[in-house]
Structure 1
Amino acid sequence: MNTVQILAVSPRKSGEREPDLTSMYVIHRAMLADLRRLTDLLGGAGPLLGARLWATRAYAAAILTEVHDHHANEDELLWPIIERTAGHAVDLSPYNDDHQALGPILDRCRAALGRDRHELEWALGVLLHMLDEHIAEEESQLFPIISRFVPYEAYAWVEKQVAKRAGLAQLTFTAPWLLRYATADEGARLLAGAGAPLRLLYALTKSRYARRERMVFG
């Protein structure tokens, strides 16, 4: 249930600054890329034993958390802002329907974490297929609406609320994970907007994330 009081906002006026959707593009890229890497790894012929198997399951669990939280944040924070600024220009019900459909497959993925690797591969593959289609539609059809109607400050408010919701344990994964998939220019923009505490957190966690990634993917 959303308990955040949604910002009072009017549509962006022509000539005003457009929202910076860098974080959305990067998290979409990161989710899809790592789901592909995980399904390739789990479906491969190489052994996954001991510490590497444990690390793979833990990494997959972290990705599932990112997928769930990303879509919950859209439902509870971004969608209300879009409805207030661009409700006349877009029907969000197809995106809501997609999010509802993700729930059961996320549950199936979580249930498969402790089971046979190929069951987890199958479940993550279904999730990847669903997200691939959903993200392509979102970026091609919804992002232009956001850029046209949502003010820069309103979108920045959404990003701040998302950061407040994430706990420290999650941010130790999220911060270096996102920067891992950002271009140099995107990374600079993300760090510039993150604030000093998150920049420090990234500096402290990027090496740990790199070791974790190597443990799973080699």
Structure 2
Amino acid sequence: MNTYRNEPADTRSMGIVHSALRRDLRRTHMVLESPPYPDESRRRALAAHVLWMCRFLHRHHAGEDAGLWPLIRKRNRTAGALLDRMEADHAQIAPALAAVEGAAQAYDEDASARGRLLTALSSLDDVLLPHLRREELEMMPVVAATITTAEYRALEHEYFVKPKGFVELGMEGHWVIDGAPSDDRDAILSVVPAVPRFLILHGFARRYRRQAALRWGTGPAASVPALHVTPIKERS
């Protein structure tokens, strides 16, 4: 029996992933903006991580465009305008991502491209961060009201899990839960079966920590937690 068959979609994973993206964008700014600037090994590790985040975002948005948004559009006719906005956001974000990719590749080759990368990241923040906020606060409640948790998890598996290898998923899992509060960590790990969960937690932890230490060092960037979106309180 599927305990999630009729349960409104639990979309917490979307916000948890977004919080990891916000966290590492903040960390990247901090490392690039504050001297001492990265030496060659840190510079290359940071550039590689920025490129990985760009690829992650491309695939994340492609999965939404191919799987999640069409299902919501089919099931919920009132969601059309908001879905149009989500797709328009993705179209606006794509060139900003391409600019970051080009700047990160240049930074990997030459430390003098640090300013170019910072500029590209700031331009990405301008279009990405409002989109992430809008998706969490406006779109996800519509998703929860339209499909079930079982359907949402099936889409997650088909578009965000199945195309990736075990090693990639293991490292991605540690990236998502890095600095996350215990409730978020439990929410992410609860959807992974016991044996793979054990392998992810214990088989990739050292490798992830080593790579993270190279990127962020021991300064303030290393301590940035997952950054959750905060709803704007209405004025009384």
2: distance between equivalents of 1:61 and 1:169?
A: 18
Question: When the two structures are aligned, how many residues end up with a matched partner?
Answer: 205
8 Å CA contact 1:175, 1:201 repeated in 2: yes
Query: Aligned to 2:118, which of 113, 121, 130?
Result: 121
5+ long unaligned stretches in structure 2: 107-112, 218-236
* CA RMSD in angstroms, aligned pairs only: 1.9
Is 1:104 the equivalent of 2:95?
A: yes
The equivalent of 2:178 in structure 1 is: 180
Corresponding residue SS for 1:89 = helix
TM-score, with length taken from structure 2: 0.80
8 Å CA contact 1:19–1:147 kept in 2: the answer is: yes
Runs of 4+ displaced beyond 4 Å = none
How far residue 120 of structure 1 moved from its aligned partner, in angstroms, is 0.9
Relative to the length of structure 1, the TM-score reads 0.86
Please name the residue that 1:57 is paired with: 47
Give the secondary-structure state (helix, strand or coil) at the position aligned to 1:121: helix
2:36 alignment counterpart = 46
Amino acid at match of 1:190: I
Separation (CA, whole Å) in 2 of partners of 1:51 and 1:89? 47
Higher mean displacement: 85-94 or 101-110 = 85-94
Partner residue of 1:31 out of 16, 21, 29? 21
Contact 1:109 1:123 in 2 (8 A): yes
Using the TM superposition, give the Cα deviation of residue 28 of structure 1 relative to its aligned residue in structure 2, in angstroms. 0.6
Distance, in Å, in 1 between the alignment partners of 2:193 and 2:57 is 24
Aligned residues of 1:175 and 1:198 also touching (Cα < 8 A): no
Cα distance, 1:129 vs structure 2: 2.1
| Residue 88 (structure 1) shift | 2.8
How far, CA to CA, are the matches of 2:154 and 2:101 in structure 1?
A: 31
Q: Tell me if 1:141 matches 2:138.
A: yes
Identity %: 27
Indicate which of 177, 188, 196 corresponds to 1:190.
Answer: 188
Tell me, yes or no, if the aligned pair for 1:32 and 1:128 is still in contact at 8 Å: no
In structure 1, give the amino acid aligned to 2:214.
M
